[in-house]
Amino acid sequence: MAMSMAEPDSDFMNYVVRMVIPLRREFGRVLDVGEFMANRPYAIEVIQQALLSKDERLREYATYVQGKLLGPRTAGPVGPAAQEAGAKAGTPAATGQAEPAPAKPASPTDEALRAKMLAKYRSGLR
């Protein structure tokens, strides 16, 4: 059973690839990304094993991938630790209310980026 995505989800693929090394280090498991994308039972087995990991980052990667693979397509990169902290603090997400959109950081201007690039050349960085 192949997973068919109209547009490849680069975040999803990024998280799957990030799971390769931690799975090999902790469990000695070689993750075949192609097989993961094509074989749903294999993907579920890998995710279940990753969720049992001692490595917090691997568990967060597995949670994200599990949300994208098995849950609604609105799963974000928020890990379980952040969700628990939000629930304890009584945030709107924990109470079921709509959460306001976070403010976007101000983007640097073209002049500032150009000045930063030129500063690298002046300092001798090659």
| Mean pLDDT, each 10-residue run in order, the chain (126 residues) | 54 89 91 89 92 91 87 53 52 54 63 78 63
Please give the Cα distance from 41 to 117 (Å, whole number).
Answer: 48
Looking at residue 115, what is its pLDDT? 82
The reported pTM is: 0.51
Looking at residue 45, what is its pLDDT? 92
Looking at residue 103, what is its pLDDT? 57
**Cβ 94 vs Cβ 41: under 8 Å:** no
Please give the Cα distance from 124 to 113 (Å, whole number).
Answer: 18
Residues in Cβ contact with 24 at an 8 Å cutoff, skipping those fewer than 6 apart: 30, 31
